[in-house]
Amino acid sequence: MVCLLLFYEFFKVGLFSVGGGYATLPFLYHISEIYHWYSARELVDMLAVSSITPGPVGINVATFAGFKSAGLLGAFVSTFAIILPSFLLVILIYKLLNKFSENFYVQAVLYSIKPAGCALIAAVGVRLFHDYILRDISVFDIHRLTAFIDFKALFLLVGLLVLSIKVKKNPLLYLGISALFGILLHLKSLF
Amino acid sequence: MKITIREIYLVFLKVGIILLGGGYVILPLLSKELVEKRNWITKEDLVEFYSISQCLPGIIAANTAVFTGYKLKGKYGAAAAVAGMCTSPFLAIVCLATVLGQLTKVPLVVDIFWGVGIGILILLLLTVQEIWETSIVDKFTLFLFLIVFALTVFCTFSPVYSIIGAAFAGIIYKLIKRRVE
């Protein structure tokens, strides 16, 4: 039963996520809120592992979420289900490739789903920003900002942001630096 | 030149193993494996597949794999390509998932994940920036972006409805625009 639900949910993720691997996140958050197969906290951990493991992030995180929900079979079902829409859609598009680019409705849909997909990813960004940088808003006090803002996280974020403006985009660079920063903080906390 | 299903599977298995850090690196990687080393498809075809894959729903790497596999050997080629690409991530994640519960109790791992989380935040930002540049082209697309953004941040609104809603809004807008013109 869980596997049928998994198939249905991850098929939807594959069919509606626009903008690549990270675009699956809003859907995965939504799934965690409805089914409680995994918590939002676990999703963030899964995301961290998926980003530093070989393979497309979207597939990694789907496999992960499936495994969390229903073990090995769940992992297989969710991976299969997230890929299936790609498979069917791409073959359909391939056959229509010449007509595809001229079709009025296809163009209208492609024109409008990308901004929506972009907004969904941005919204996940806001959520992660809230999780990582801001602490409990209820304790907000201008004189005790450290209780409210995680300055170490903010420092790393701003540092990476400056770097991203100056250096060519290479995802591994950011992940490597941020992992290293985590290790350094850990070592510092030991002494 | 005869390309077998097995060869397609193996090449994409390799791509799945090397691919690290998300969609950005898939194009140069496939270009090296399929165009330069094996001469299976042309660079132009690959770039076209990749750019269409970015517009379509689904994981970009998987879409590109299906396109390439289909071009090489029909639907079996497509299945081999996408299966090859998923094999190593699947195995790696299943192994890691069994120990994640224990891993997240190790303080060092918690700190590394904390750092990586902020790295991911930057990657999300870069993804948004990249999609923004090609998709927010006029007032209507900006309006769609803001509506979906607000609905998702402030309400627990299903992303599926956002995408379907946006698709319909796009069709209606284009129909009205065509009529006006």
Q: Are A32 and A116 found together in one domain?
A: yes
Do A73 and A38 lie in one domain? The reply is yes
Asked if the C-beta of A135 comes within 8 angstroms of chain B's C-beta atoms, the answer is: no
Q: Same domain, yes or no, for A111 and A149?
A: no
Q: Which of A128, A151, A178 is the last residue of a domain?
A: A128
Residue A60 sits in the same domain as residue A90: yes
In a domain, A134, yes or no: no
Domain containing A172 equals: 139-190
Contact: A171, B166; criterion CB under 8 Å = no
Query: In this structure, are A80 and A163 located in the same domain?
Result: no
Secondary structure, 3-state, chain B:
CCCCHHHHHHHHHHHHHHCCCCHHHHHHHHHHHHHHHCCCCCHHHHHHHHHHHHHCECCHHHHHHHHHHHHHHHHHHHHHHHHHHHHHHHHHHHHHHHHHHHHCCCHHHHHHHHHHHHHHHHHHHHHHHHHHHHHCCCHHHHHHHHHHHHHHHHCCCCHHHHHHHHHHHHHHHHHHHHHHC
In this structure, the answer to whether residues B90 and B146 fall within a common structural domain is: no
User: Using one digit for the tens of pLDDT, what is the confidence trace for A113-169?
Assistant: 889 989 998 998 888 888 888 766 555 566 666 667 788 888 888 888 888 888 766
Number of domains in chain B: 2
Q: What is the mean pLDDT of residues B3-14?
A: 93
> Are B66 and A117 a contacting pair at CB < 8 A?
no
B25 CB neighbours in chain A (<8 A) are 171
Range of the domain at B153: 107-180
Indicate whether A167 belongs to any domain. yes
- Check A183 against B111: CB less than 8 A apart: yes
Q: Is the pLDDT of residue B161 over 80?
A: yes
* pLDDT, tens digit (0-9, with 9 covering 90-100), for A18-68: 887 888 988 998 898 888 888 888 888 888 888 888 888 888 889 988 998
Mutate to test the interface with A, among B120, B138, B146 (most CBs of A within 10 A): B120
Mean pLDDT (chain A, rounded): 85
One domain for residues B166 and B118: yes
* pLDDT tens per residue across span A8-18: 999 999 999 98
